[in-house]
Amino acid sequence: MTRTALYRHYDAEGAPVLRITLHGCDVARFEGVEQKARGMAGPIGPLARKLINQGEANPFDWVEVWRGETLCFHKRALIHWASVHTSEGVNSTVRTSVYKARPDFEAAQ
């Protein structure tokens, strides 16, 4: 996969913007890379970390998050999503907190 194939569109300044799409309540996808949420955690942060770790995207690439034709999160750097943990309760909106790596837990996955 070439770097140019990763980008979906460009913003008004001509900068490439990656498009992460949400599917259902617990799946995020980007160019064939998929991440399923675990528990009440959202899938965007883990997907961002996976893209960076696999070398699929630059941490400073711009990202938009979409569900169908609806823009859910405006343009932010991929590193922003990789550095946060998102969660959503039954009666609440999406909340973010600082991501804390747990190597012992992540190695078991």
Contact 34, 28 (CB under 8 A): yes
Q: What is the pLDDT of residue 8?
A: 64
What pLDDT does residue 6 have? 44
CB 59 within 8 A of CB 78: yes
Give pLDDT tens digits for 35-92.
998 877 889 999 999 999 999 889 999 999 998 888 988 999 999 999 998 876 666 6
State how far the Cα of 66 lies from the Cα of 72, in Å rounded to an integer.
5
Q: What is the pTM of this model?
A: 0.77
| pLDDT score at 2 | 39
